[in-house]
Amino acid sequence: MRFAARTAPSLTKSLYQEPYGSQAPWLKVQTGAPWGKGAVTYRTPAWQLTAQGEARGLGVPKVCLTPTMGALPQAGGAPEPQPAARLQAAYSELLRAKSRLEEEKGRLEREKEELGRRLETSTQEITRLRATRCPPGREGPGRDTLPPRWDPQPLTYQELQSERTEVPVSRLLEETALGRPGSKDSGCGELVWVGEPVVFGRAESIAGKYGVWMKDPEPVAPFTRETTWRVDAVGTEVRQLFQYEAAEQLARGYPAKVHILPQPLESTGAVVYRGGLFFQPRRSRAVARYDLRGEAVTVEREIPGAGYHGQYPYSWGGYTDIDLAVDETGLWVIYSTEKARGAIVLSKLDPETLEIRRTWETNIRKRGVANSFVICGTLYTVSSYSAHNATVNFAYNTATSTSRALSIPFENRFRYLSMVDYNPAERQLFAWDSFNMVTYPVRLSQA
């Protein structure tokens, strides 16, 4: 705040505010003596001046002050806050409150949209179930109803399925070892046929939209080949591993035990093998082994350069960057790296130490396929997670380090395939398809 002073020509005075803080502004009073004795400077608080500009008790000649901005506080009292400052503070507080309300509004709108999507999905599922209900007088369960128990299909019925799914005859002629799922004498070979899905159970909560379920092909006591394991994979803190004594218990929905993992897992890439759960810990490029008997993580190791948490997932997303698999030859990990530029990389792991024994880099784009599995050392990929009539569209043979295109029919009955794994003991694919836990019978031709 500056002032213009008016006085006699023989005496010059200027008063202006010094920056001593807004609560106690000061004025400097400077007089110029006409008789040449120099200038005298006074400093005094602004509130000690009268309205006419007279400094009390300082002997300063009376001057007439004209303020150029602001206003002086009342004489003789403490300075009061400026009205403009009070308004500015109140306005700032209103802006902050408005910002908080807008953030809360945005959060509620996002929750509303998510609930709307869930409601729409549930409505579509109810409509589909009503449409596929058995007609009056028809015997037996409907196509999508849950069977009371599963029984391996005989060979003759599998032949009937081959005709109904229009598998080319040339493909059947190539087969030299068909056998039932789980047959020990069927031998290794190339995948030539995938049957229709058989439903074992259904997740009832939204956490089961996608997940992983499995059996151990080489179990360790007290567990058996019938012991079934399940993880509902929706959420950011997925730690629950459900244990069932058999698949029938899974169908009824009553686990024998629930394991709480010491760290959350990422997505649907877990497998059970030789008494351990192998999984990818959340937000890491590592693979860990959880001992099912000791209920503790026994080993954890990073996969060098592996993408994680959305860098190189399958086409359906779900942070499926690192996927584990088991076949007749052991434990595998499927992933990609920056060096591979998004192509699938396949590595063989030591199940005890998780060290990489050997690695193959394929020419199959990981984001271009919906899922993959390994049978007899050959990597197979699924073309789509949502198309009803999908296919097994590529194969990469680690024995020859070559890939080839395929077109083996693969049915996505519920249109949201989030997990596919091969069980070499049962010669079946285990899959999770939009809340539903299903299996697919397969056939191999002799290599």
Q: Which range, 26-40, 47-61, 102-116, 279-293, has the best average confidence (pLDDT)?
A: 279-293
What are the residue boundaries of the structural domains of the chain, listed by start? 3-76, 155-446
Rounded Cα gap, residues 393 and 382, in angstroms = 6
pLDDT value at position 253? 83
81 pLDDT tier (thresholds 50, 70, 90): low
Provide the mean pLDDT of the chain. 78
Least confident segment among 183-197, 265-279, 341-355: 183-197
168 pLDDT tier (thresholds 50, 70, 90): very low
Phi/psi region, residue 376 (left: phi>0; alpha: psi -120 to 50; beta: rest), is left
CATH number of 155-446: 2.40.128.630
CA-nearest of 355, 313, 314, 307 to 331 is 355
> Pick the residue with more confidence: 178 or 250?
250
CA angle, corner 446, sides to 440 and 447, nearest 5? 110
Task: Identify any residues that bridge with 55 across adjacent strands, giving them in sequence order.
Answer: 49
393 pLDDT tier (thresholds 50, 70, 90): very high
pLDDT value at position 55? 40
Least confident segment among 35-44, 166-175, 348-357: 166-175
228 pLDDT tier (thresholds 50, 70, 90): very high
Rounded Cα gap, residues 360 and 224, in angstroms = 33
Q: Buried (b) or exposed (e) across 39-73, using 16+ Cβ within 10 A? A: eeeeebebbebeeebbbeeeebeebebeeeeeebb
> Pick the residue with more confidence: 35 or 297?
297
Whether the CB-CB separation of 45 and 57 falls below 8 Å is answered with no
Phi and psi at 46, nearest 5°, equal -60, -30
Token reading at 213:
């379920």
pLDDT value at position 383? 97
Mean pLDDT confidence for 90-118: 85
Quote the pTM value: 0.61
Sequence length of the chain is 447
pLDDT value at position 19? 42
pLDDT value at position 398? 97
Q: Is 173 helix (H, G, I), strand (E, B) or coil?
A: helix
Rounded Cα gap, residues 273 and 281, in angstroms = 17
Q: Is 18 helix (H, G, I), strand (E, B) or coil?
A: strand
Q: Which range, 22-36, 134-148, 414-428, has the best average confidence (pLDDT)?
A: 414-428
pLDDT value at position 84? 85
Mean pLDDT confidence for 408-423: 97
Cα distances (angstroms) measured from residue 198 to each of 152, 203, 228, 441:
10, 15, 16, 9
18 pLDDT tier (thresholds 50, 70, 90): very low
- What are the DSSP calls for 86-112, one per residue? HHHHHHHHHHHHHHHHHHHHHHHHHHH
> Pick the residue with more confidence: 241 or 234?
241
pLDDT value at position 109? 86
Rounded Cα gap, residues 210 and 177, in angstroms = 34
pLDDT value at position 247? 84
Phi and psi at 363, nearest 5°, equal -110, 20
Rounded Cα gap, residues 41 and 28, in angstroms = 7
> Pick the residue with more confidence: 354 or 95?
354
Task: Give the tens place of pLDDT for each residue, 283-328.
Answer: 999 999 999 999 999 999 999 999 999 999 999 998 999 999 999 9
Rounded Cα gap, residues 443 and 184, in angstroms = 13
> Pick the residue with more confidence: 424 or 48?
424
- Residue 332, amino acid: W
- Is 170 a residue whose pLDDT tops 70? no
- Is 72 a residue whose pLDDT tops 90? no
Long-range contacts of 400-406 (CB under 8 A, 24+ apart): 401/360, 403/362, 403/363, 403/364, 406/191, 406/380
CA–centroid distance for 24 within its chain:
57
- Is 71 a residue whose pLDDT tops 80? no
Least confident segment among 114-118, 223-227, 264-268, 412-416: 114-118
Helix (H) or strand (E) holding 118: helix 83-131
DSSP state of 321: S
pLDDT value at position 25? 46
Phi/psi region, residue 111 (left: phi>0; alpha: psi -120 to 50; beta: rest), is alpha
Mean pLDDT confidence for 243-251: 90
Mean pLDDT confidence for 238-247: 94
Phi and psi at 244, nearest 5°, equal -125, 145
Percent of the chain residues past pLDDT 70, beyond the cut: 69
- Residue 196, amino acid: E
Within 8 A by CB and 6+ apart from 361, the residues are 340, 343, 345, 346
pLDDT value at position 133? 53
258 pLDDT tier (thresholds 50, 70, 90): very high
Q: Which range, 90-99, 201-210, 269-278, has the best average confidence (pLDDT)?
A: 269-278
